[in-house]
Every structure is written in C-alpha cells, then in structure tokens.
Amino acid sequence: MTGRSDWEGRTGRKWADEWRRTDRSFAGVTQRLLDRARQAPLRQILDVGCGAGELSLALAREHPRSRVDGVDVSEPLVVAARERADTLTNVRFTLADAASWNPEGAAPDLLISRHGVMFFDDPAAAFAHLRAIAAPSARLLFSCFRDRAENPWASGIADLLPPGVASVPPPGAPGPFAFADPAHVEAILAQAGWREIAFERLDFAYVAGAGGDPVADALTYFLAIGPAAAAAAELDPDARSHFVDRLERFLTDRRDGSIVALEAAAWIVSAMAPL
C-alpha cells in the first residue's frame, strides 16, 4: 500500500530526488490539466498532493493574478517545490494533508491534482473536506491512472518480477490504481457532495528515458521509483540481477531514437461544488 506514511518517508524522498524525470514522464498529463484549468477564470487554486510543484508553478506563471497553494504531506517534496518557486510571489507550498488543510481565508475556486488523490487513506472524507472548503461552484479537476492493464509502464514491468512478487497494492487500497474504476470514483465524489462528475480518457506517452543512452536513463528511473522499484529492492541478488536484465531488454524494445516511451492511460476527472 502507498499511503501517507510512505509519502512522508522513503517514497517522498525518492520522488523529491527524481522530480525532473517524473515531470518529464507526466508532461502529457500536466498539459491536459493546464488546458482544462484555463477554461474558466481563476482566483484561488489549490493543488492537492502538489509533489515537487510542477503543476502549481505552471499555474502560477500562467495565472499571475491568481493565488496558488500547493499542499503535500512529504517534506522533501515541499522543500523541492519551494526551491523551484524562485521569484514567483503568487504561489506558496505548505507541508500539510489536503484532507484536513483549512487555513484562514482559503476558498479555492479550482481544486486540482496531478495523480495526487489516489493516496488518500479515507478518500470519501478527504473529498468531503475539500468540498467544504471550496468556493461555491468551485471546480474539481484531477488525473488518475486507468486500469493497470492499460498501463504497460506498470503492468509490463511488474510481469518481469519473479512469480508471487506483488508490486501493486490490492484493489481499493491507496496506490497508483486506486481510482482506476470510474464507478468507484463517481460514488466517492457523489457521497462527498460533488456534482456534475465527468471522466475524460487520456492516453499519453510516459517518457521514461531520454538523452544519449535513454535505456540506461529509463532503467535507473524504474529502479528508483514506481510500483516495481520497492519490490525489486527486496529481491535476493540473483533474482534482482535477473530482473534488471529482463527490464533492460524490455526497455530496449521500446526505445525510439533518443527516448524510451511507454504507453500510459489516465482519467481526467472533473466535478463541481454546489452553489
């Protein structure tokens, strides 16, 4: 399971170290969220599970008259985000849990997240809280992965592990595929008081490696973060060596010139707060 304690610890530190490559791999998702965000005027924006700040920073630059709050439970990720903010004055990053974050004067008219909401320990309560602090008719907009089978960057790599070694949390548990079922997500959001819930399919290129040796770049990336990284780290030396060899061949087959890109499939979920 990947929950709050994981992001506060080793997982958060790893993602903070890898923000450049994770931003590259999620570039297609970031752009779609930005496109959707600009469809209405914005005054206050809350980035839920902001990570190292890529989406918050892009929103702050594009909407200089808006206030952007990025909130995350991982101190290393918040530190990385603050360092990246440089001279931007309309964005701030806070170490907090968005499921209970409620500073004075907060009434966001856009609540947005790039793959950050699937890790709530109690998603129904979290979305109810977000709805309670949102401005009337605020928009909720977030991305999450579709089914694991539609995401070979995860399923294909997991299949390279030895039999019986699990790399993905069970259905319903916090983790990358916790929101893969739209009926499950719609029920959670409706229970929390959100309305006009909609799902848009997004297929994008998950760029895992680039540069002079994109295979080596992708290999070190997937051994550092992602569903298989933790499982691979626990293998005995022989099993790990065999897995790394298989992973390298898998990535070599997906090399296209100076990049290694894998298919990825996401939902862009939108909803509205009550009037």
Q: Tell me the CATH architecture of domain 4-207+264-272.
A: 3-Layer(aba) Sandwich (3.40)
Instruction: Indicate the pairing of strand 91-95 with strand 110-114.
Output: unpaired
Q: Is the pLDDT of residue 220 over 80?
A: yes
**With contact defined as beta carbons under 8 Å apart, do 44 and 69 qualify?**
yes
- Looking at the chain, the number of H-run helices and the number of E-run strands are 12, 8
Q: Is the pLDDT of residue 124 over 60?
A: yes
Domain boundaries, the chain: 4-207+264-272
pLDDT digits (tens, 9 = 90+) for 97-119: 999 998 888 899 999 999 999 99
The Cα 42–Cα 214 span in angstroms is 39
pTM of the model: 0.93
